[in-house]
Amino acid sequence: MAGTWTPQATLDITRESCPMTFVRTRLALDRLAAGEVLLVLLRGEEPRRNVPRTAAEQGHAVLGMEEGPDGSARLLIRKGG
């Protein structure tokens, strides 16, 4: 997954809980130009479910999510126009 896209920014929200996980993700996306890619590092079932869904609902493209062996995940989001 990560090899296909080169993220312009990385956000670590592994220690955050909802709803702050998407609030921080949205702020990071706001700083990017349309078409740029954000790598989000997250942990927990709720953020893995909610962050990609909410990003897609707001017009961003979820490029993929890679699960880590320790319960973490790496999520790539391309900012929509």
DSSP string, the chain: -TTT---SEEEE-TT--TTHHHHHHHHHHHTSPTT-EEEEEEESHHHHHHHHHHHHHTT-EEEEEEE-TTSEEEEEEEPP-
18 catalytic, yes or no?
yes
Catalytic residue chosen out of the listed positions 9, 18, 32, 62: 18
Active site (catalytic) residues = 18
